[in-house]
Structure 1
Amino acid sequence: MSTDTAKKDLLRGGQFLVKETKSEDVFTPEDFNEEQKMMRDSVKEFVEREVWPHKERFEQKDYALTEEVMRKAGELGFLGVAVPEEYDGLGMGFVSTMLVCDYISGATGSLATAFGAHTGIGTMPITLYGTEEQKKKYVPKLATGEWFGAYCLTEPGAGSDANSGKTKAVLSDDGKYYSISGQKMWISNAGFANVFIVFARIEDDKNITGFIVENDPENGITFGEEEKKLGIHSSSTRQVFFNDTKVPVENMLSERGNGFKIAMNALNVGRIKLAAASLDAQRRVTDLSVKYANDRVQFNTPISKFGAIKSKLAEMATSTYVGEAAAYRAAKNIEDRINIRLEEGNSHSEAELKGVEEYAIECSILKVACSEDVQNCSDEGIQVFGGMGFSADTPIESAWRDARIARIYEGTNEINRMLAVGMLVKKAMKGHVDLLGPAMKVGEELTGIPSMDKPDFSKLFAEEKDMIAKLKKVFLMVAGSAVQKFGPKLEENQQLLLAASDILIEVYMAESGILRAEKNAKRFGEESQAEEIAMAKLYLYHAVDIINTKAKEGIVSFAEGDEQKMMLMGLKRFTKYTNMPNVVELRNKIAEKLTSENKYCF
Structure 2
Amino acid sequence: MAELEKDILRGGQFLVKETKCEDVFTPEDFSEEQKMMKESVMEFNEREIIAHKPRFEAKDYALTEEVMRKAGEMGFLGVAVPEAYDGLGMGFVSTCLTCDYISSGTGSFSTAFGAHTGIGTMPITLYGTEEQKQKYVPKLATGEWFGAYCLTEPGAGSDANSGKTTAELSSDGKSYKINGQKMWISNAGFCSLMIVFARIEDDKNITGFIVEYDPENPNGITLGEEEHKLGIRASSTRQVFFNDTVVPVENMLAGRGEGFKIAMNALNVGRIKLAAACLDSQRRILTTAVQYANERKQFKTPIADFGAIKTKLAEMAASAYAGESATYRAAKNIEDRIAIREAAGNSHQEAELKGVEEYAIECSILKVAVSEDVQNCADEGIQIFGGMGFSEETPMEAAWRDARIARIYEGTNEINRMLSVGMLVKKAMKGHVDLLGPAQAVQEELMGIPSFETPDYSELFSEEKEMIKKLKKTFLMVAGGAVQKFGPQLEEHQQLLIAAADILIEIYMAESAILRTEKNAKRFGAESQSAQIAMAKLYLYHAVDIVEEKGKESIISFAEGDEQRMLLMGLKRFTKYVNYPDIVDLRIEIAEKVKAENKYCF
Aligned to 2:278: 278
**Cα deviation, residue 7, structure 1:** 1.9
Distance 1:9 1:47 in 2: 36
**Cα deviation, residue 222, structure 1:** 0.2
- Give the counterpart of 2:23 among 14, 22, 25: 25
Kindly report which structure 2 residues correspond to 1:47-446, keeping only aligned pairs within 5 A, or say none.
47-217=45-215, 218-446=218-446
Distance 1:533 1:600 in 2: 15
Structure 1 unaligned regions, length at least 5: none
Q: Tell me, what secondary structure is at the counterpart of 2:148?
A: strand
**Cα deviation, residue 453, structure 1:** 2.0
Aligned to 1:558: 558
**Cα deviation, residue 9, structure 1:** 1.8
**Cα deviation, residue 326, structure 1:** 0.1
Percent identity, aligned pairs only, is 80
**Cα deviation, residue 514, structure 1:** 0.4
Distance 1:67 1:300 in 2: 47
Aligned to 2:594: 594
Distance 1:171 1:557 in 2: 51
- Cα deviation digits, residues 426-480 of structure 1 (max 9, x gap): 0000000000000001000101000122211000000000000000000000000
- Cα deviation digits, residues 401-420 of structure 1 (max 9, x gap): 00000000000000000000
Distance 2:590 2:494 in 1: 37
Distance 1:548 1:331 in 2: 29
Q: Tell me, what secondary structure is at the counterpart of 1:317?
A: helix
Distance 1:140 1:394 in 2: 40
Distance 1:65 1:455 in 2: 60
- The residue type equivalent to 2:71 in the other structure is A
- The residue type equivalent to 2:596 in the other structure is S
Q: Tell me, what secondary structure is at the counterpart of 1:576?
A: coil
Distance 1:273 1:86 in 2: 23
Kindly report which structure 2 residues correspond to 1:399-548, keeping only aligned pairs within 5 A, or say none.
399-548=399-548
- TM-score w.r.t. the length of structure 1 is 0.99
Distance 1:447 1:293 in 2: 53
Distance 1:190 1:301 in 2: 50
**Cα deviation, residue 8, structure 1:** 2.2
- Cα deviation digits, residues 17-43 of structure 1 (max 9, x gap): 000001000000000000000000000
Q: Tell me, what secondary structure is at the counterpart of 1:40?
A: helix
- Cα deviation digits, residues 529-587 of structure 1 (max 9, x gap): 00000000000000000000000000000100000000000000000000000000000
- Cα deviation digits, residues 123-150 of structure 1 (max 9, x gap): 0001111111111110000000010000
Distance 1:497 1:470 in 2: 20
Distance 1:349 1:262 in 2: 13
- Cα deviation digits, residues 108-136 of structure 1 (max 9, x gap): 00010000000000000011111111111
Distance 1:560 1:206 in 2: 41
Distance 1:573 1:208 in 2: 48
- The residue type equivalent to 1:517 in the other structure is T
Distance 2:317 2:461 in 1: 20
- The residue type equivalent to 1:209 in the other structure is T
**Cα deviation, residue 216, structure 1:** 3.0
Q: Tell me, what secondary structure is at the counterpart of 2:467?
A: helix
Aligned to 1:13: 11
**Cα deviation, residue 6, structure 1:** 2.0
Question: How many residues end up aligned between the 2 structures?
Answer: 600
**Cα deviation, residue 250, structure 1:** 0.7
Q: Tell me, what secondary structure is at the counterpart of 1:247?
A: strand
- The residue type equivalent to 2:562 in the other structure is D
- The residue type equivalent to 1:242 in the other structure is F
Distance 2:160 2:389 in 1: 38
**Cα deviation, residue 509, structure 1:** 0.3
**Cα deviation, residue 107, structure 1:** 1.2
**Cα deviation, residue 363, structure 1:** 0.2
Distance 2:97 2:432 in 1: 29
Q: Tell me, what secondary structure is at the counterpart of 1:91?
A: coil
Q: Tell me, what secondary structure is at the counterpart of 1:213?
A: strand
Backbone CA RMSD of aligned residues = 0.5
Aligned to 1:43: 41
Q: Tell me, what secondary structure is at the counterpart of 2:167?
A: strand
- The residue type equivalent to 1:142 in the other structure is L
- The residue type equivalent to 1:322 in the other structure is A
Distance 1:322 1:44 in 2: 21
- The residue type equivalent to 1:359 in the other structure is Y
Distance 1:106 1:438 in 2: 41
Distance 1:329 1:237 in 2: 33
Distance 1:352 1:457 in 2: 41
Structure 2 unaligned regions, length at least 5: none
Q: Tell me, what secondary structure is at the counterpart of 1:491?
A: helix
Distance 1:598 1:585 in 2: 20
- TM-score w.r.t. the length of structure 2 is 0.99
Q: Tell me, what secondary structure is at the counterpart of 1:481?
A: helix
Distance 2:201 2:173 in 1: 14
- The residue type equivalent to 1:130 in the other structure is G
Distance 1:9 1:103 in 2: 29
- Cα deviation digits, residues 286-341 of structure 1 (max 9, x gap): 00000000000100000000000000000001000000000000000000000000
Q: Tell me, what secondary structure is at the counterpart of 1:191?
A: helix
**Cα deviation, residue 494, structure 1:** 0.3
